[in-house]
């Protein structure tokens, strides 16, 4: 048994005895129980010091413990998030939390590279920043906390979370669980913390705190821009408006089902979800009919479409917050539109420059515009995407079209012939992330995004070629 293993064993024993004494004394100030941000950052800084002097195996143990401990809590997490935010639906939130927990990469993401030669050896290694300030949205509150906690700790950091005020109960409940699980498995207290009462003021104080060198912001453009003004290193995961292009070569039946799946997932809350369709006119009515035959409500009456537009988009040209993440039935009822059954999605045919195409609505109301050909569809899709460089989707069997669109859109995620959520590792190849850094360019973030690449040189040795 080496010294590090002995140290770990001792820490385990100390943690267990602290646990026993804790049962007879009052709760320690830890996890999401801090009154003010300074105390939370100070505690996280101390925790970072402890993690940073330990071996990588501690980080691996933390990640595997979180996967084990939180697995049973996922249904409750989904239920609590849905009740508190009033957005999305429990079944899809279970899926989102499951992929966050089991498909977020851990320490294996931090691949070391080496160069050797007559001069010796140079290593490039991913090293931690220290205490990361992470801001989570209301649309994926617990998914983002799970996903960020795993990636950030795997990279060797401690995290101060700024939970969304609209999801503070479920977020602080989760942060306490995560913190306790980490303490129980390795004896390090406060690797993941937050204030007990998340607020915009606490978020602002965290952003400017001297001991927080990196801000990771998952939210709308307002909060990302605010973080960028602090002068700190920022990983900004901002808004998107993902368009879907459907050309004349697509398997229309499959495309319609994939689009319904993606656009209705958690009632369209994910930033990557399909927000607008541009279809080549020769297959437009085929696609709209296929939507209707696969469970979408295709609203055709012009007055009904006008009313849907009016309730979905406010006078400020932003989505009506009261309808964000609501069910198709709720949206139809709000607009006074007659419908049958329980539609999976609301679909409307509109002009390419309709506000419904241009505004990020975050609700299962999908506008569909037509284009004369693929070239025009691509130009419309570029306008709809709005330069966010976030996500785009395309359904086609024409490889030239797919290549051209993938290059021209320049989005962080480009999904071909699948629902948008294939781009975050749901049901298809690839790891999961809930922080897609668009304005700052890291794209689909993982542990290595939360690490500094450092170079270590050994002169005239360790070249064995």
Interacting residue ranges for ligand NAD, rule: CB under 6 A: 135-140, 162, 164-165, 200, 203-204, 218-220, 222-223, 226, 237-240, 271, 360, 434-436, 438
Contact between 429 and 444 under an 8 Å Cβ cutoff? The reply is no
Find residue 416's DSSP bridge partners.
394
Q: Are strands 214-218 and 158-162 parallel, antiparallel or unpaired?
A: unpaired
**Please, which residue, 224 or 332, has the CB nearer to ligand NAD?**
224
**Please, which residue, 195 or 299, has the CB nearer to ligand NAD?**
195
Range list of H helices, 103-251: 141-154, 168-186, 200-207, 221-228
Which residues lie below 8 Å from residue 465, measured CB to CB, with a gap of 6+?
116
Find residue 459's DSSP bridge partners.
120
Query: Measured from the CB of residue 444, what is the shortest distance to ligand NAD in angstroms?
Result: 9
Query: Measured from the CB of residue 203, what is the shortest distance to ligand NAD in angstroms?
Result: 4
**Please, which residue, 256 or 435, has the CB nearer to ligand NAD?**
435
Query: Measured from the CB of residue 162, what is the shortest distance to ligand NAD in angstroms?
Result: 5
Beta strands in 256-373 (DSSP E): 276-280, 296-299, 345-349, 365-371
Contact between 149 and 192 under an 8 Å Cβ cutoff? The reply is yes
Query: Measured from the CB of residue 359, what is the shortest distance to ligand NAD in angstroms?
Result: 11
Query: Measured from the CB of residue 381, what is the shortest distance to ligand NAD in angstroms?
Result: 17
Closest by Cα among 349, 407, 357 to 378: 407
Q: Are strands 436-437 and 113-117 parallel, antiparallel or unpaired?
A: unpaired
Query: Measured from the CB of residue 23, what is the shortest distance to ligand NAD in angstroms?
Result: 34
**Please, which residue, 224 or 349, has the CB nearer to ligand NAD?**
224
Query: Measured from the CB of residue 137, what is the shortest distance to ligand NAD in angstroms?
Result: 3
Residue number of the CB atom closest to ligand NAD:
219
Instruction: Tell me how far CA of residue 252 lies from CA of 63, 381, 397, in angstroms.
Output: 42, 18, 11
**Please, which residue, 136 or 335, has the CB nearer to ligand NAD?**
136
Query: Measured from the CB of residue 205, what is the shortest distance to ligand NAD in angstroms?
Result: 10
Burial letters 210-223, b for 16+ CB under 10 A, else e:
eebbbbbbbbbeeb
Beta strands in 181-287 (DSSP E): 192-193, 214-218, 233-237, 243-246, 276-280
**Please, which residue, 140 or 326, has the CB nearer to ligand NAD?**
140
H or E element, residue 172:
helix 168-186
**Please, which residue, 190 or 438, has the CB nearer to ligand NAD?**
438
Query: Measured from the CB of residue 446, what is the shortest distance to ligand NAD in angstroms?
Result: 13
Instruction: Tell me how far CA of residue 324 lies from CA of 226, 268, 356, 431, in angstroms.
Output: 23, 8, 13, 27
**Please, which residue, 85 or 370, has the CB nearer to ligand NAD?**
85
**Please, which residue, 203 or 327, has the CB nearer to ligand NAD?**
203
Phi, psi at 115, each rounded to 5°: -120, 130
First to last CA, the chain: 33
Which residues lie below 8 Å from residue 289, measured CB to CB, with a gap of 6+?
298
């Amino acid at each position: 048994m080496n010294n590090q293993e002995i140290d770990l064993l001792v820490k385990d024993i100390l943690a267990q005895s602290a646990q026993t004494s804790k049962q007879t004394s009052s709760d320690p100030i830890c996890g999401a129980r801090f009154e003010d941000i300074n105390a939370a950052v100070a505690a996280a800084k101390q925790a970072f010091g402890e993690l940073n002097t330990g071996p990588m195996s501690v980080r691996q143990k933390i990640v595997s413990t979180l996967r084990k401990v939180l697995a049973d809590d996922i249904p409750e997490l989904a239920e609590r998030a849905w009740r508190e935010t009033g957005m999305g639906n429990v079944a899809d939130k279970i899926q989102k939390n499951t992929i966050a927990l089991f498909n977020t990469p851990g320490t294996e993401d931090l691949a070391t590279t080496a160069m050797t030669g007559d001069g010796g050896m140079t290593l490039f290694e991913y090293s931690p920043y220290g205490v990361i300030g992470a801001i989570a949205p209301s649309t994926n509150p617990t998914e983002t906390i799970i996903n960020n906690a795993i990636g950030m700790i795997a990279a060797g950091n401690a995290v101060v979370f700024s939970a969304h005020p609209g999801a503070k109960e479920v977020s602080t409940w989760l942060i306490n669980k995560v913190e306790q699980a980490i303490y129980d498995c390795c004896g390090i207290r406060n690797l993941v913390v937050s204030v007990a009462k998340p607020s915009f003021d606490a978020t602002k104080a965290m952003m400017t705190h001297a001991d927080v060198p990196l801000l990771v912001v998952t939210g709308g453009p307002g909060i990302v821009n605010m973080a960028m003004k602090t002068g700190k290193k920022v990983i900004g995961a901002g808004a998107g408006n993902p368009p879907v292009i459907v050309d004349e070569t697509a398997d229309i039946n499959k495309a319609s089902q994939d689009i319904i799946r993606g656009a209705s997932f958690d009632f369209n809350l994910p930033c990557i979800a399909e927000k607008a369709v541009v279809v080549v006119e020769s297959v437009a009515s085929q696609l709209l009919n296929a939507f209707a035959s696969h469970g979408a409500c295709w609203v055709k009456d012009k007055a009904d479409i006008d009313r849907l537009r009016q309730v979905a988009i406010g006078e400020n040209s932003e989505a009506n917050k009261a309808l964000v993440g609501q069910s198709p039935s709720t949206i139809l009822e709000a607009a006074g539109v007659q419908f049958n059954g329980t539609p999976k999605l609301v679909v409307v045919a509109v002009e390419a420059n309709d506000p419904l195409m241009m505004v990020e609505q975050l609700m299962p109301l999908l506008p569909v515009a037509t284009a004369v050909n693929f070239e025009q569809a691509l130009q419309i899709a570029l306008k709809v995407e709005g330069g966010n460089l976030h996500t785009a989707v395309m359904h086609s069997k024409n490889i030239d079209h797919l290549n051209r669109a993938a290059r021209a859109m320049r989005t962080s995620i480009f999904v071909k012939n699948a629902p948008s959520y294939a781009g975050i590792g749901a049901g298809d190849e690839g790891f999961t992330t809930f922080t897609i850094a668009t304005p700052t360019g890291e794209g689909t973030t993982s542990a290595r995004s939360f690490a500094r690449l450092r170079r270590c040189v050994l002169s005239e040795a360790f070249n064995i070629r």
